[in-house]
Amino acid sequence: MKGNYNQLRAMLAITRASLLAIFRSPSAVIFSIAFPLIFILVFGFIGNGGRVSLNIAFDQHTDTANPIYQAIKGIAGVNLVTKATELVREDLEKGRITAIIKIEKSGLSNPPYTISLTSSEAVNPQNIQVLQSILNAVIAGINQKSYANAPTIAMISSTVQKIPGRIYRTIDFILPGQLGFSLLSSGVFGVAFLFFNLRQQMVLKRFFATPIKRSYIVLGEALSRVIFQMLTAVIVIGIGHYVFNFTLVHGIQTFLSIMLLSFIALVLFMGFGFIVSSVAKSESTIPPFANIITLPQFLLAGTFFSIEAFPPWLQPICRILPLTHFNNAMRNIAFEGASLSSCWQELGILGTWTIIVYLVAFKTFKWE
């Protein structure tokens, strides 16, 4: 009898029962599917917004020996990108840069300088207007201080040269963050409550009376969570793509890469859940412990807006968080058509976090 016991079949039975329990749980459905979809619907109906941050680059032929150049470099909130010309143009095509600014002498005494902008179709037109307003304010400030007797130090070209580029919508930024929100909340809260209740209700102890091994118990429960959350990812991405034109550059290939990335992230986030379920002394202490892990990542990992909007001293902390690297990799794959291998830095950091988290989980996990 003992030799004929099928561990895999027992594990799949646990998976099936646990998966049915998840679908019957209103909180699991609400936090994993409803909340992310609400945010997607809200931001999707707002419009075809574009980039969140305002990045610029200067043309290589820009005249730097003028007060306009120095004033623009000193503006808070305007990030100067310094890369090779080919890389700058590539970023412009992908919407990472709002515009390339070229300042040159006009050959006239009035005005002595002209400013021209080069942007792309991937950039939100509102961001271009914001940049133009900033440049006008810079010119007005310089005129007031040093060119009071002259009409103006510079004139901005009324025509913005645009190069072809993929249209970047608000949904292309928001959906990856909401998918990460769903994976993190499900991985931490779902696993923490699940295993805590299994211990409290003596379910794990009853399992010990059967021939199934402990590792298969954990795998069975974990597999049910993975299946449910992967279905959630399919729903979130499907609605985003077919309803709000969320960008999947290479179609099904991009979708499969996103699903694999989501699986990797979910495995990591479930490790946090194992830790919380072990350190919590009662069910009421699970939310505080879980929020310590999830809340900073919801707010600081680029879920709702770019981390470049934070003060410089806070950005290094943002870049430590695992959800930041999931969001970055997701956006690179979905909008820019990057492969998983090209996101090796993000995957490497997620892998490092996974090793650290599961080392702690193995040390703290309790069966009874």
Residue with tokens 């307003």: 133
pLDDT of residue 165: 65
The bridge status of strand 99-105 relative to strand 113-120 is antiparallel
Output the six-digit token pair for 30: 């609400």
Residues of the chain with CATH 3.40.190: 54-163
CATH topology of domain 54-163: D-Maltodextrin-Binding Protein; domain 2 (3.40.190)
Average pLDDT over residues 155-184: 81
Output the six-digit token pair for 343: 């996101």
Kindly tell me the sign of the dihedral angle through the C-alpha atoms of 220, 221, 227, 230: negative
* Model pLDDT for residues 171-225, shown as the tens digit of each residue: 888 899 889 988 998 889 888 888 888 778 777 777 777 777 777 777 887 888 8
The residue ranking higher by pLDDT, 147 or 319, is: 319
Contacting residues for 46 by C-beta, under 8 A, at least 6 apart: 170
pLDDT of residue 153: 79
Q: What is the DSSP string of 301-359?
A: SSSSS-GGGS-TTTHHHHTTSHHHHHHHHHHHHHHH---TGGGHHHHHHHHHHHHHHHH
pLDDT of residue 30: 62
* 153 phi and psi angles, rounded to 5 deg: -80, -25
Q: Per-residue pLDDT for 353 more than 70?
A: yes
pLDDT of residue 31: 61
User: Under a CB-based contact definition with an 8 Å cutoff, are residues 100 and 59 in contact?
Assistant: yes
* Model pLDDT for residues 28-65, shown as the tens digit of each residue: 666 666 666 666 664 555 444 443 457 889 988 888 88
Q: How many residues does the chain have?
A: 368
Output the six-digit token pair for 332: 């690179």
Cα gap 285→269, rounded to integer Å: 19
